[in-house]
Amino acid sequence: MQTLLVTGGAGFIGANFILLARQLQWANIINLDKLTYASNLGNLAELQTDKNYHFVQGDINNFELVSYLLSQYQPDTIINFAAESHVDRSIFSPQNFINTNVLGTFQLLEASRFYWQKLPSAKQKQFRFLHISTDEVYGSLNPQDPAFREDTPYAPNSPYSASKAASDHFVRAYYHTYGLPTLTTNCSNNYGPLQFPEKLIPLTILNAVDGKPLPIYGDGQNIRDWLYVIDHCQAIYLVLQQGKIGETYNIGGLNEKTNLTVVKTICAILDELVPQLNLSYSSLITFVKDRPGHDRRYAIDCSKISQELGWQPQENFDSGLRKTVQWYLNNSYWVNQVRSGAYQNWLKQNYDNR
């Protein structure tokens, strides 16, 4: 069985990937995570007795630690999920995004290069460095523009997307300069279980259940392509197994929705599952001042991964969203654990003056 070094594996997408990898016996897992605000070891509690899963707390910027883990565990693959990923937070504190997304990826690439160059020839051919990125690096689309392709020019508009664009370019450079066998995936907006509730879908679910306002930026007509996290994880594994070295693969859910439509759909599901007497949750919708540089539309053309690797998302938006709402309703203990004082302070900082 393969051994994977997964960075950022206690976060939303990384944790879902690790849980699926161990459930389906894809690989042994070494999980390196700094345990920032959006990380949660509770996401992986069911693996505490799994002898083929190991957690290490640490920073991808720590070259010595990463080098030690590579030497100690001899992984066949590195999957880099580690990233600061919330656009709003990047507007308040861009430095954190530079440190993790740019410098951290660089340190990880450097440690991987030195490790890979010392491997025997057969192990070198087997090794992969898979970098997880975002569709936001491509910028913003107008309503009639074609969806983002892998060859769409980069045009990032936020400190977050700029930092991810830089990290993508470093990954590409390490393949072309050093021959490091890299792969990059650029995904659309993920949703599903275990997502930290600063993001639109979990924020809306939890605010609605608490009877709090449901904030929507601007006119609510910003469009995103929504990808169920398990579909994303399955695509990542397929790219890892069959993707062509040095290539990029776009992964999308084929679900373009306005933010207002997303929130209204969540409200309709909650009206059905936990009805309030003489009240629709949609009455809580509140339009707030738009965030600076808010991209109007993202859309992913995922025909490359579909045609070359045979991947298609299994969840449509309605089925995936219903599963997500039900998960948050069923996991109040997890919700209460992550909604700490720091989280409440963030909500106050970001929304109170809009």
**Could you give the CA distance from residue 76 to residue 70 in angstroms, rounded to a whole number?**
9
Catalytic-residue membership of 271: no
Catalytic pick among 115, 138, 160, 228 = 160
256 an active-site residue? no
Q: Say how many CA atoms lie within 13 Å of 43 toward its Cβ.
A: 27
Q: Which of 33, 135, 225, 315 is catalytic?
A: 135
Q: Note if 68 is an active site residue.
A: no
* 18-26 LR contacts (CB < 8 Å, sep 24+): 18/44, 18/47, 18/53, 19/43, 19/44, 19/46, 19/47, 20/230, 20/233, 20/234, 20/237, 21/233, 21/237, 22/47, 22/50, 22/52, 22/53, 25/1, 26/2, 26/237
Q: Are 162 and 156 in contact (CB under 8 A)?
A: yes
**Residue type (1 letter), 327:** W
Question: In 3D, which of 134, 143, 133 has the Cα closest to residue 296?
Answer: 143
Annotated catalytic residue: which of 33, 76, 136, 198?
A: 136
Residue 148: DSSP 8-state: B
CA dist 222 and 216 (Å) reads 10
Residues known to be catalytic: 135-136, 160
